[in-house]
Amino acid sequence: QVQLVESGGGLVQAGGSLKLSCAGSGRNISSYSMAWFRQAQGKQREFVAATSWRGGITPYADSVKGRFTISRDNAKNTVYLQMNSLKPEDTAVYYCAADFAGSTYSAQNMDYWGRGTLVTVSS
């Protein structure tokens, strides 16, 4: 079992930055592909970014490419999402997820989920 706890969400003005963290416990995340998803009110959950367990592979959604950066520190069992140039449309609950040795980064394949952290971007 892997437990995931997100933190770092909050209220920020458009153009600002936030850094989300996802702390894992129970098992080391080094064998897991880790991903961030988000769900805005009234909308479906969508993929944001991922980092492969193999290293060197970090896909991003087109909507965040160039603004968000995902990273991981396996020694700290933590994944991060640096979010810059935030827009009101980035407002959502952000979820961290883990997929054992995964390579598809789809929500359906994720083995574990955190409870989410709310990011609100004001205009």
The one-digit pLDDT tens for each residue of the chain (123 residues) are 999 999 999 999 999 999 999 999 999 999 999 999 999 999 999 999 999 998 889 999 999 999 999 999 999 999 999 999 999 999 999 999 999 988 888 999 999 999 999 999 999
* Phi/psi at 104 (5° precision): -110, -25
Provide the pLDDT for residue 56. Answer: 85
Provide the pLDDT for residue 102. Answer: 83
Nearest residue to 74 via CA among 20, 25, 29: 29
Neighbouring C-beta atoms of residue 98, cutoff 10 Å: 24
Angle at 67 between CA 64 and CA 68, to 5 degrees: 70
3-state helix, strand, coil in the chain (%, to 5): 5, 50, 45
How does 49-84 read in b/e, with b if 16+ C-beta sit within 10 Å? bbbbbeeeeeebeeebeeebebebebeebbbbbebe
